[in-house]
Amino acid sequence: MNATLPRFFWSEYRKRHKRAALITFALFWGTLSILLLMAFGQGMSTQFQVAFKGLGETLIMVYGGQTSLPFEGLPKGRPIALYPEDIDYLKDRIPEILRIAPESYNFLPVSANGKEINRTVHGTTAEFGVMRTQVPQLGGRFLNAADAAEGRKVAFIGWKVATDLFGSADAVGKTIVIARVPFTVVGVLQKKIQDSMYNGPDAEQVYLPFHSYQQIDNRRRINQIHIQPREDSQSKLIESRVKTLLGRKYRFDPDDRYATSFWNTIDDAKEGMAIFKGIEIFLSIIGALTLLIGAVGVTNLMYAAAKERTKEIGIKLAIGARRRTIIAQFFLETVFVFTKGTFWGFITAFNIVHLIRLAPINYDSFGIEAYLLRPEFSLRILVIYVVVLGVLCFLSGIFPALRASRANPIESLRYE
């Protein structure tokens, strides 16, 4: 390669720059579309995962129920309840369990600072905090093992509860009264987006150590058990073991679908991810089709160039240009047109994505903006884009280039 051929190409290109401008715009637009659509697709996917982790990661929730099958002489329709001792009973017998925690709750009056509100108050253990992503704000903590061991009257509260009771003041260290029993706030939940919940978002909940909770709610039975498996893949195995073990203890058929029920977030997450992957692919295809319009424009431009340059091609062939020289020239031009159009599209898309990401998300009314305002770029998007671009560039350049190179030198020389 040398400077003369690129300069020739530039001279030839400049003659068509007005027509090329429109095609450059089409490529710009196509690049913008494919990159933004992919960034939004991936951003939504990521936000879905983030929101899902708001409830907890790889979580199996176990609830009691009512038998629907007779078992060992017992009739169907018996209620099955869960009790605090089931925690150790299951943990000792199922080695696949990494963490396990009980949870009881009741709607109770909570007062402080001269205000009274009704909120769902929960009793649970320290492990619950890890499983249910209860991340404390700076200066606070979740419930811990010492709280349980010493029977401390402490509470971990959602950020909305903190605001409702204390306004903008720091809630940690303050006292709240629940069912006439005072509790010291040891932590406030950090803001998070959460798309799955029971009894409302965690922002509005109050958590107490399990034994302290039992002093204000004297029901023996617990509402649910949270289990985190060592590996995601063990979730189904754990479910069936829990059924078998609880069935043995409370005497119901392990195949009884209504004696106990499960909320397996691992399955939900897989399903959700499949949907968002589908959306991502769909958006990428739309983006690629938009870019295709630009590519068709380039093909058109290059065909026109091949025709306009018939005479020049004839001259070059006559003085000894090989076919591949002609092909290379057309390809160089196609690549140039593509680069010019797509470069600014790339820069623009990159900036738009980063600007959008600056927009704040309202954690108090978690809605569609939490999905839309966090588009993101990744190496994967870049690779897909470059591959799509490369294929389109090759396809839009190859046919005009081949046509130009197949020109008959004699006829081309006669062309005016």
Partner 1 sequence: MIELNGITKVYRTGSQSLEALRGISLGIGKGEFVSVMGPSGSGKSTLMNIVGCLDTPTAGEYVLDGENVAGLTFDELAAVRNRKIGFVFQNFNLLPYATAWENVELPMLFDGKNAKKRRERVTELLNAVGLLDWRDHRPTELSGGQQQRIALARALANDPPILLADEPTGNLDSKSGEEIMAILTELWQGGRTIVMVTHNDHIAACSERIIRLFDGQVVA
Tokens of 354: 């980063």
Identify which range of 1-9, 101-109, 139-147, 244-252 contacts partner 1 by CB under 8 A.
1-9
Rule CB under 8 A: is residue 146 a binding residue for partner 1?
A: no
Identify which range of 153-161, 263-271, 318-326, 390-398 contacts partner 1 by CB under 8 A.
318-326
Please report how close the Cβ of residue 13 comes to partner 1 at its closest, in angstroms. Answer: 10
Identify which range of 10-18, 33-41, 152-160, 267-275 contacts partner 1 by CB under 8 A.
10-18
Rule CB under 8 A: is residue 378 a binding residue for partner 1?
A: no
DSSP assignments along 379-402, one per residue:
HHHHHHHHHHHHHHHHHHHHHHHH
| First-to-final CA distance of the chain | 30
Rule CB under 8 A: is residue 319 a binding residue for partner 1?
A: yes
What does each C-alpha distance from 164 to 170, 171, 322 come to in angstroms? 12, 10, 81
Please report how close the Cβ of residue 393 comes to partner 1 at its closest, in angstroms. Answer: 25
Give the separation between CA 80 and CA 245, rounded to whole angstroms.
13
Tokens of 75: 């009739």
Q: Which of 130, 137, 183 minimizes the C-alpha distance to 158?
A: 137
Q: Which of 11, 168, 218, 365 forms a contact with partner 1 (CB under 8 A)?
A: 11
Rule CB under 8 A: is residue 316 a binding residue for partner 1?
A: yes
Task: State phi, psi for 299 to the nearest 5 degrees.
Answer: -60, -45
Rule CB under 8 A: is residue 413 a binding residue for partner 1?
A: yes
Give the separation between CA 54 and CA 202, rounded to whole angstroms.
9
Give the separation between CA 165 and CA 162, rounded to whole angstroms.
5
Per-residue contact string for residues 295-314; x = within reach of partner 1 by CB under 8 A:
----------------xx-x
Per-residue contact string for residues 66-85; x = within reach of partner 1 by CB under 8 A:
--------------------
Binding residues for partner 1 restricted to 96-115, rule: CB under 8 A: none
Q: With H, G, I as helix, E, B as strand and everything else as coil, classify residue 183.
A: strand
Provide the residue count of the chain.
416
Rule CB under 8 A: is residue 268 a binding residue for partner 1?
A: no
Q: Which of 75, 320, 360, 365 forms a contact with partner 1 (CB under 8 A)?
A: 320
Contacts of 164 (CB under 8 A, 6+ apart): 115, 117
Please, which residue, 315 or 373, has the CB nearer to partner 1? 315
Residues that bind partner 1 (CB under 8 A): 2, 4-5, 7-8, 11-12, 15, 311-312, 314-325, 409-410, 413
